[in-house]
Structure formats: C-alpha cells, structure tokens
Amino acid sequence: MDRCFLSLRRLSQSLNLTRTVTIFRQLIHFGPWRHFFILLVRVVRKPSCTAHPPQGQPSLFSSIKHSTVLADLTDKGIGFAGTAPKELITAIRSRTDHLPKDHFPDIHEADPDIRRLVTDPAVLDLVRHYLCAEPVMLECTLIVTEGGSVSDQIGQQSSFHFDYAGWQSVNVFVYLTDVGEQSAFHTVISGTHRRKTIGDILKQFLSDDEARERFGNQITPVLGPAGTVFFENTEAFHKRQPSPERRVMLNILYASHRNWLSKGRSPPANIHLRDRLYRKLLG
C-alpha cells in the first residue's frame, strides 16, 4: 500500500501537480474550520493516559521539566528538553557516526536504542499533553548532512518554511553530533506556529530578509551538544543553516491522527540501504 502512495506522490511530481495540490491543501489546513477538526480529533482520540509523571516503564528523561517544555512549546512553538542520557547517545552514535550522507526513514525499526527513545513514556506524555490527543508517530527519520553540492545548500530545507501533518503535529529533534555556529544548525521563528498571513499560507517559504524584517529577535538558532533534545510545532517557520560540516539529527514526527496523506513517505531504496548498513553495524 505504501508503494502505491509513493507512486502517486511521484506521479503528481512528474505532472507538476505538486505545487497546485500543496496550495489547495494549505488553504484547507489553515482555514478557520481547522478549529472544529482539531476539537473533533481531540474528542475521538482522547489521550489514553494523562498521569504525570507517567507510570509504568521508567523514562530516559526523568529530569525533563514537563510544564516548562509544554508552556514554551505552546507559546513559542519550541521547547527544550535538555540532553538525552550520555550512554544512550554513545550507543546510538556507535552506529550513526558511520553512516553516509542520506536520509534513513523509520530508523527506529533498525536501531534498538532509537526505539527506546521514540517510545519513551516522558516523551510520549509530553506530546500527548501538547496535542490533547493520543499521538501517532508518522515519521522517524535519521538525517545525515555533510558537505554537499550547491543545490543541497540552497535546497528547501535551507529556506524558512513550515510543514504540517494531520490537524496537529509536533516534531521531536535530537542532535547526534555537536552543533555549533559553523554547523548546519536548526533555526525556528518563535511564535509563527500561532498565526500566519494568507501570503504565508500560499507561499509556504520566507526569505531570510523577510524573516529578519518581520520577526527580528524571534528567530531562534538551536545550538547544542550531541544529545540535545527539543520539541517543535511542525507549523512554525524553520530552516537548516547551510554548512559543509557533518550533522546527524533524528527527526521524529508525531501527529494527533493518521490520514492517507501521511502514507508513502519512506522510499524503499532508503529502507534497503538502512537495513543493509545496520545489519553490518549491529554485527
């Protein structure tokens, strides 16, 4: 079934329909009726557990400041959760440090330590509280960027843009290399998840000049050591700083529900490459 959706995506791209379909989807997604659908999903997909701290399986993030992260995520669209345990990051990096530049979809299926991270009760509890609905994980992608051609540097990820998945969605990002001022650091424009102009909705992209002029000090670069974990509303304007330096980042996307547009996101060639490399790396 996923292959079918992947083929549909490719057909739409080859027919140059992607832009038209995207604009139509964005108008539907950001229209005033979205509040009704968000409420509806919250009723249908009530959070299964609202206990805090979460009970049962112990969390890797016992010191996470749940209310602070949640408040920042609600207000600014980004909440910092500190750093993941060193042993966990060391274990994950014993594999990811050897991967070539590429995207590795559904990496939790190949890496047992990443699986512990994406199923962590404190992470899920925070996402659940933020969405006010039972979350579903749509993507878990490991992104390795390094050097690259000019087209990589000026690609879509290097311009301010927003994404969306389902009526509500949130990304959990984990740096797996140290990320400094010279690195391909992630940048978010704080507060832009809450309001967008019709021009923003139609364009989906912002130039750096327009971003500086409109949002000034709301532009928030995210720097930090390997293991830095942050939550971000998918709909906030964000970008990746162009840099030739190697950067490895885990991108976990949770939404309040799954729909058919969420399928077909994992190219089979990347899955085969992931499995082949991890078979060797896990010995």
**Binding-site ranges for Fe ion (CB under 5 A):** 163
Q: Are strands 228-233 and 136-145 parallel, antiparallel or unpaired?
A: unpaired
Four-CA torsion 283, 278, 222, 243, nearest 10 degrees: 110
Region for 105 from its dihedrals, namely left if φ exceeds 0, alpha if ψ lies in -120 to 50, beta otherwise: beta
For Fe ion, which is the closer residue by CB, 111 or 232? 232
Nearer to Fe ion, 12 or 157 (CB): 157
In the DSSP assignment, the letter for residue 76 is H
Cα 241 off chain centre by? 16
For Fe ion, give the closer residue by CB, 160 or 167.
160
Q: How far is the CB of 163 from Fe ion (least distance, A)?
A: 5
CB neighbours (10 Å) of residue 141? 18
Question: Of the two residues 61 and 230, which places its CB atom closer to Fe ion in the complex?
Answer: 230
How far apart CA 37 and CA 152 sit, in angstroms, is: 37
Closest approach of Fe ion to the CB of residue 171, in Å: 8
CB of 203 to Fe ion, least distance (A): 15
Least distance in angstroms from the C-beta of 238 to Fe ion: 6
Which residue's Cβ lies closest to Fe ion? Answer: 163
Q: Which is nearer to Fe ion, 88 or 206 (CB)?
A: 206
Distance CA 125, CA 59 (A): 10
**Shortest Å distance, C-beta 251 to Fe ion:** 9
